Amino acid sequence: MNISLDPWVWIAALLTLAIFSFLYRDNPFYRFAEHMFVGVANGWAVTFYWHNVLMPTLFDPLFRQGQLLLILPFIAGMLYFTRFIPRVSWLVRIPIGISMGYYVGASIPATIQANIIKQAQGTILTTHNFQAWHAGSMGIVWSVILFVGVLCTLSYFYFSREHKGVLGLTSRVGIVFVMIGFGAAFGYTVIARISLLIGRLQFLLGPWLGIIE
């Protein structure tokens, strides 16, 4: 056992324990650590963005180097603050509209291609898709299961007709696939949370207490 003498390691370790103390019940140590985290994170973010975004890309070029075109994004950005003045608060729609216009324009074609067209192609029963599973002849079976799963799940979310007859059957199969999906997602969530616990324990047992390397 080789306990750390580094004060920063001690601060990190004690804050970790303060956060873990919530598992017992809500207490002042937990609330102190939580509030400090929020405060430090906000203070750091404001300082970072001021020095790394606003100063080098807007204020310095505009006010010191005289790049006057930057007055336009400066004004657009300032319009966000009109939200606090009821009489002119409608002006906030201008910067929101500019941002939305840019991102929607950039994202719609790319998202349709990547998330709809390519995904639909991946569902089609082709030799290429069979091989994509890296499962030999079983690739056909997995592809058929995927195909059935996608169609049945889509049919479950079709609400324009009552789920009776063929639609009733496919939607019941669809809900089975949905439940399996939820189960897989939950299993992965457990892995993720345990992994985070392991990470913290590695820190407490290693750099802080020196019990492990």
Partner 1 sequence: MKLFDALTKVDRRIIYIILLVVVTLPLIFPSAQSVRVMPPVEKFFNAVDSIPPDKALIVDFDYTPQDMPELEPMGIAILRHAFKKRIKVLAVSLYVQPLGLAVRALQQVTEEFNSVATSNADSIIYGRDYVFLGWQVGPVNAMLTMGESIARFYPVDYYGNRTDTLPLMREIKNYRNVGLVTSLSPSDIPKYWVAYAQNRFGVRVSSGITSVSASEFYPYLQTGQFSGMLVGMKGAAEYEEIVEQNLNVKGRRKASESLPSLTYAHLLIIAFIVIGNVGYFLSRRHK
Least gap, CB of 201 to partner 1 (angstroms): 6
Please give the DSSP secondary-structure letter assigned to residue 161. S
Taking CA atoms, 40 is separated from 7, 136, 148, 211, in Å, by: 18, 53, 50, 30
Question: Whole-angstrom Cα distance, residue 178 to residue 180?
Answer: 5
| Using rule CB under 8 A, residue 169 touches partner 1 | no
Among 100, 103, 104, 125, binds partner 1 (CB under 8 A): 103
Q: Verify binding: residue 179, partner 1, rule CB under 8 A.
A: no
Q: Phi/psi at 157 (nearest 5 deg)?
A: -90, 15
The pattern of x and - marking residues 3 through 42 that bind partner 1 according to CB under 8 A reads --------------------xx------------------
Per CB under 8 A, does 205 bind partner 1?
Answer: yes
CA dihedral 92, 40, 26, 194 (to 10 degrees): 100
Q: Does 196 bind partner 1 (CB under 8 A)?
A: yes
| CA distance to 18, 177, 179, 190, per residue, from 185 (Å) | 29, 12, 10, 9
Q: Are 107 and 91 in contact (CB under 8 A)?
A: no
Distance between CA 75 and CA 3 in Å, rounded?
A: 55
User: What is the size of the binding site for partner 1 (CB under 8 A)?
Assistant: 47
Q: What is the CA radius of gyration of the chain?
A: 27
- Which of 104, 106, 141, 176 binds partner 1 (CB under 8 A)? It is 106
Per-residue binder mask for partner 1 (CB under 8 A), 45-74, x = binder:
x--xx--xx---x-----------------
Cα separation, 90 vs 95, whole angstroms: 11
The piece of 79-87, 151-159, 163-171, 191-199 that touches partner 1 (CB under 8 A) is: 191-199
Kindly state the tokens that stand for 138. 């079983």
115 binds partner 1, rule: CB under 8 A: yes
Residues that bind partner 1 (CB under 8 A): 23-24, 45, 48-49, 52-53, 57, 103, 106-107, 110-111, 113-115, 118-119, 121-122, 129, 132-134, 146, 181, 184-185, 188-202, 205, 211-213
